[in-house]
Structure 1
Amino acid sequence: MPALGLGVFQSTAEQTADVVTTAIAAGYRLIDTAAAYFNEEQVGEGIRRSGIDREDVFVTTKLWMTDHGRDRTRKAFDASLRRLGLDRLDLYLIHWPEPASWSQTVESWLVLEELLAEGRVRAIGVCNHHPHHLRDLIDAGSVVPAVNQVELHPFFNQPRVRPFNAAHGVITQSWAPIGGGRVYNAGRPDAPHSPLEHPTITGVAERFGKSSAQVVIRWHLQHGLSVIPKSADPQRIAENIDVFDFELSADDVAAIDALGTANRAGGDPEVVDRRLHSVTIDND
């Protein structure tokens, strides 16, 4: 799996195919989507339009909570492949754990193991799983999740999840990696609302002649994380992958690490359920 890819969360159906084609032309080889993003079909169109060989692009999609359970999981997987126009997936993830219906989450994981054994997917994993969720899945099944994709950026750097993942051979992949579109410190108008505005990061960016986003993406990579920044802007898409010609110092990394707080911007996997995310996928 490439360390750096393109996320298409909140990319509209109208723009997604062009975004994917632009990203592939810029050098991206990992595209991350989900059934609940409602743009899988356009992701597939963008890949075909790019002219790239199928084996040269790594495609991830995800199982939504309303499709947990044995039969629904298989049906959802088939529907995602159909929308993408693929006959095999590179990585399939359980989008969220559902603690209130944990047995169904486990059922879905066991189906993912079957799909892996059948060769219909190259790797399987999860999103938004706390260490105890991962431990339960590992104990219930026979395959360790290859990836745990979680909210991770300088303001919320997952100090418990990352070491657990590493100890169990699970790759940590960062969603919302630059903190874009999220509002922090809402009660303090004088404080940075985004990592990209924080003087620690803007100072490093100025010193290297890079953007704040490039510095943050480089921080992820130097921590050994996989990172999937989202953008629909061609210039920013190109900018976000142009991060391999400089290296942050240990002091730079430590200073960015120190910005971490206990405040997440997205949902807490401990309490999230389908009632909080009222999304239903049509898999017929």
Structure 2
Amino acid sequence: MSFETIQLATGREMPSVGLGLWKIENAITADIVRSAIDCGYRHFDSAADYGNEIQTGEGLSAAFRDGAVAREDLWITSKLWNTFHHPDHVRPALEKSLRDLQVDYLDLYLIHFPIAQAFVPIEKRYPPGWFADPDAPNPTVQTQPIPIIDTWRAMEALVHDGLVRDIGVCNFGVSLLRDLDNQAEIGPAMLQVEMHPYLTQEKLLRFCDQSNIAVTAFSPLGAQSYFQLNMAEASESLLEHDTIKSIATDVGRSPAQVLLRFGVQRGTSVVPKTSNVDRLKENLAVFDFTLSDDHMKRIAGLDRHRRFNDPGDFCEAAFNTFFPIYE
């Protein structure tokens, strides 16, 4: 059984390991994307909110010009930001991402959060971020009463118009997925969620498997992306966990490779982020070894329901607004 790709409900296959572009600095994004393609990456996970889609597009177009890769050989994902949930704003948001990425279609377009924020015009501020008005005396997150199904209908139209191949969602739980799937003409092909050994989400993964919804795990290395944001403690590093290091020794691989292999072997896609070329290569080299059933069981046993990326925590701390979505 090959784990190098995962199959979506439409029959299309997505590379199991992609490069996550969140928090890659704009000044180096184009070079990192170009280097990743040279390393063999064919899956890039982007989003309007990351603020580096223009630079990502520069890296992609350089690779196309050089003949290093053809557009049809890549899987490019982007995400609809919270301020563009009104049906009238979905297509303009998608078209902005297409222009920035310098491509004429996306392989996958995801609703970034089940949160509909007040609209911010692209020409006013982009990416819009979380604050409705960052210059206000006490800026907050402001929402709009837009049902998810209304946003989804506009997403479906993107598929019908040939601008997007597959559509899906991020940061949804089982109840929202079930409700959306019950109403959708085109069901969600993908769920992207935080998933790592401290947050294994067994029930959610099982539901998606039974519902033919593919799963991408973001932050598959756990706390690494959250240290500098003060959203994780150094003691929470999975790379330094004795169990992970012991298994890494058993299989002759790095702790990061063990964590990524765990995600891939569970049948999910993983999108680790790195700005280091050696790590790019290391993160992609997870298809020539296997974790034993005992290894997998020991890693899964680390689950502590620890979610690092939680609007119920960070929105209040960073954006003056209590905004839980998982409770």
> TM-score, normalising length from structure 1?
0.90
State the one-letter code of the partner of 1:30: H
Aligned partner of 1:67 among 72, 84, 96 = 84
* Pairing 1:172-251 to 2, within 5 Å after superposition: 172-179=215-222, 180-182=224-226, 192-251=235-294
Match in the other structure for 1:8: 21
Tell me the CA shift for residue 75 of structure 1.
Answer: 1.1
SS at match of 2:77: strand
Match in the other structure for 2:106: 89
Tell me the CA shift for residue 271 of structure 1.
Answer: 10
State the one-letter code of the partner of 2:158: L
CA–CA separation in structure 2 for the residues paired with 1:272 and 1:128: 15
CA–CA separation in structure 2 for the residues paired with 1:19 and 1:90: 20
Tell me the CA shift for residue 176 of structure 1.
Answer: 0.5
State the one-letter code of the partner of 2:170: C
Tell me the CA shift for residue 41 of structure 1.
Answer: 1.2
In the alignment, is the contact (CA less than 8 A) between 1:32 and 1:228 conserved in 2? yes
CA–CA separation in structure 1 for the residues paired with 2:189 and 2:182: 15
In the alignment, is the contact (CA less than 8 A) between 1:128 and 1:149 conserved in 2? yes
Match in the other structure for 1:282: none
Match in the other structure for 1:261: 304
Q: Residues 198, 165 of structure 1: CA spacing in aligned structure 2 closer, same or farther, 3 A cutoff?
A: same
Q: Residues 233, 263 of structure 1: CA spacing in aligned structure 2 closer, same or farther, 3 A cutoff?
A: same
Q: Residues 277, 197 of structure 1: CA spacing in aligned structure 2 closer, same or farther, 3 A cutoff?
A: farther
CA–CA separation in structure 1 for the residues paired with 2:23 and 2:60: 18
CA–CA separation in structure 1 for the residues paired with 2:270 and 2:77: 13
Aligned: 1:55 with 2:72: yes
In the alignment, is the contact (CA less than 8 A) between 1:182 and 1:194 conserved in 2? no
Q: Residues 197, 211 of structure 1: CA spacing in aligned structure 2 closer, same or farther, 3 A cutoff?
A: same
Q: Residues 68, 52 of structure 1: CA spacing in aligned structure 2 closer, same or farther, 3 A cutoff?
A: same
Aligned partner of 1:138 among 181, 193, 205 = 181
* Pairing 1:118-157 to 2, within 5 Å after superposition: 118-157=161-200
SS at match of 2:308: coil
In the alignment, is the contact (CA less than 8 A) between 1:129 and 1:269 conserved in 2? no
Tell me the CA shift for residue 263 of structure 1.
Answer: 2.1
Tell me the CA shift for residue 12 of structure 1.
Answer: 1.3
Q: Residues 89, 53 of structure 1: CA spacing in aligned structure 2 closer, same or farther, 3 A cutoff?
A: same
Runs (5+) with no aligned partner, structure 1: 279-284
CA–CA separation in structure 1 for the residues paired with 2:196 and 2:219: 7
Detail structure 1 runs of 4+ shifted over 6 Å in the superposition: 269-273
**Percentage of pairs with the same residue:** 40
> TM-score, normalising length from structure 2?
0.78
Tell me the CA shift for residue 158 of structure 1.
Answer: 1.1
* Pairing 1:151-166 to 2, within 5 Å after superposition: 151-166=194-209
Q: How many residues align?
A: 273
Aligned: 1:26 with 2:39: yes
CA–CA separation in structure 1 for the residues paired with 2:299 and 2:168: 28
SS at match of 1:103: coil
Tell me which of the two structures has the higher relative contact order, counting C-alpha pairs closer than 8 angstroms and 6 or more residues apart: 1
SS at match of 2:226: coil
CA–CA separation in structure 2 for the residues paired with 1:149 and 1:20: 21
CA–CA separation in structure 2 for the residues paired with 1:120 and 1:259: 41
In the alignment, is the contact (CA less than 8 A) between 1:98 and 1:272 conserved in 2? no
Tell me the CA shift for residue 245 of structure 1.
Answer: 1.5
In the alignment, is the contact (CA less than 8 A) between 2:61 and 2:102 conserved in 1? no
Tell me the CA shift for residue 268 of structure 1.
Answer: 4.9
Match in the other structure for 1:169: 212
